[in-house]
Chains A and B, each alone.
Chain A
């Protein structure tokens, strides 16, 4: 069934009796050509592009809970392509371009909203760094505008420009950045993949791999063994736990990132705003809630909840740039387990085990990467070689000194 305005109108007139489930709930088959482990955004996008763009058939996505129960349904929905390094920026710009055409492509309203993102700067040195970043973005075909204080005043007059400690001097603005309804991304890709014949197997946890003489021949799951010619893992925060079952140790630590939503307010925040001197970022949802977050908690954890010192730190960051939100009441807060890598950048690669692929290390920023991650992973799985914008996302890059460290923080996951 195709979704459209007409369809909504028609169903409204006919008692909404014609809607069907958006995807099937099949039983696992004994064998697939490709098994994707993890039904988050990346896994579902990978299945979708494998079927739609790379002509693959006979694919299953295996998810331990329900699709969207992981970080794809927990993030703060920001999409942007404002990276600096050549290993990253073309990839994220490719992703932003895919976002721009996504809703037409998979016929689902993902509420892609390009209201712009502003990274504030507070010192001369930071302005210079942002000018450099903006130039790197433009060289990769992205949009970037360096705004002075007057420019920011026009966009966000409510900021605390003359803050005694961190006065706001200007910002780097990416007008094409914005937010996307995260659950709808999972659902849209799931429906699109299902339409192309992909089996989405929920409540099906991968508990092991069948590895024979260095060749991966399938997975063991809570719903039985499934043979596969290729197995592609993308389980985000669970990466180390799952790959351990294939005997691999990863350059990854699992950490918790918290997020917060306030009561609904009238429209006040024009796009996404980030603080440049502390860690705080905020946008406003279509329902009016302020959606915000900050730093990861900073210690290894698999508990999907954080601690109070970070809550305080995030709120202080918010108060430092926009004191007007001080009386907004926080309605909900939650945490998600993020796969922090040793250089803050992700992996999309084959492993030393033939037929076993790995995608992970997305840290706190893999939502924006969902379309490109799926597309590039599908490219690697179908063609056997990396997509041109993802060639640097190799698992062995630390061996060769080829890390992609945007922050220059070194092999210390909690500092990225």
Chain B
């Protein structure tokens, strides 16, 4: 698989390590009343869809940036690549 890095252009997927579902960007609020259940679900449960999947890839053998890759899990086709920083900021994360 070739990942179209937003800053570096096309890179071999072998340069990256894979973390998983990009939903992991959004950690639950540790002060919420239901934090124990929320953290359980956050840490251990996955949608694991067949089809489009937004996922976190780390450019470990490259510029060490985190990317959000939108990829089809039935065909391996990659349709979108963003810097994880940008998607996190856009969704209101500031740290």
Report A's interface with B, CB cutoff 8 A. 240-241, 249-254, 298-303, 307, 309, 342, 398-399, 411-414
How far, in Å, is A20 (CB) from chain B's closest CB? Answer: 38
> B13 and A307: CB pair below 8 A?
yes
> B48 and A300: CB pair below 8 A?
yes
How far, in Å, is B85 (CB) from chain A's closest CB? Answer: 21
Report B's interface with A, CB cutoff 8 A. 1, 12-14, 17-21, 40-41, 43-50, 53, 55, 71, 73-76
> B45 and A414: CB pair below 8 A?
no
B residues in contact with A301, CB < 8 Å:
73-74, 76
Bound together, the chains give a CA A252 to CA B55 distance in angstroms of: 15
> A249 and B45: CB pair below 8 A?
yes
A residues in contact with B49, CB < 8 Å:
240
> B73 and A249: CB pair below 8 A?
no
User: Apart from A299-B55, A414-B20, what 6 extra A-B contacts exist at CB < 8 Å?
Assistant: A240-B49, A251-B45, A252-B46, A299-B71, A301-B73, A342-B44
A residues in contact with B53, CB < 8 Å:
300
A241-B50, A252-B46, A309-B14 known; A300 and B20 CB under 8 Å? yes
A240-B47, A240-B48, A309-B14 known; A249 and B75 CB under 8 Å? no
A301-B73, A303-B75, A303-B76 known; A253 and B48 CB under 8 Å? yes
* 10 A-B pairs in the complex with CB atoms less than 8 angstroms apart: A241-B48, A249-B41, A249-B45, A251-B45, A299-B13, A299-B55, A300-B20, A307-B1, A307-B13, A399-B40
A299-B18, A307-B13, A309-B12 known; A252 and B40 CB under 8 Å? no
Q: Tally the A-B contacts, defined by beta carbons under 8 Å.
A: 65
> B13 and A251: CB pair below 8 A?
no
Contact residues of A: prevailing secondary structure: loop
A residues in contact with B48, CB < 8 Å:
240-241, 250, 252-254, 300
B residues in contact with A240, CB < 8 Å:
46-49
How far, in Å, is B3 (CB) from chain A's closest CB? Answer: 11
> B73 and A254: CB pair below 8 A?
yes
Bound together, the chains give a CA A285 to CA B81 distance in angstroms of: 43
B1: nearest chain-A partner, CB-CB: A307
> A249 and B18: CB pair below 8 A?
no
Contact of A302 among B45, B46, B47, B74 (CB under 8 A): B74
A309-B13, A309-B14 known; A300 and B55 CB under 8 Å? yes
Bound together, the chains give a CA A399 to CA B13 distance in angstroms of: 34
How far, in Å, is B74 (CB) from chain A's closest CB? Answer: 5
Bound together, the chains give a CA A300 to CA B48 distance in angstroms of: 7
Bound together, the chains give a CA A301 to CA B68 distance in angstroms of: 16
How far, in Å, is B71 (CB) from chain A's closest CB? Answer: 8
How far, in Å, is A252 (CB) from chain B's closest CB? Answer: 6
Bound together, the chains give a CA A253 to CA B1 distance in angstroms of: 19
A251-B46, A253-B20, A309-B14 known; A398 and B40 CB under 8 Å? yes
B residues in contact with A302, CB < 8 Å:
50, 73-74
Bound together, the chains give a CA A316 to CA B50 distance in angstroms of: 31
> B13 and A414: CB pair below 8 A?
no
B55: nearest chain-A partner, CB-CB: A300
Bound together, the chains give a CA A254 to CA B21 distance in angstroms of: 12
> B44 and A398: CB pair below 8 A?
yes
How far, in Å, is A405 (CB) from chain B's closest CB? Answer: 12
A299-B18, A300-B73, A413-B20 known; A249 and B50 CB under 8 Å? no
B residues in contact with A298, CB < 8 Å:
17-18
Bound together, the chains give a CA A64 to CA B40 distance in angstroms of: 32
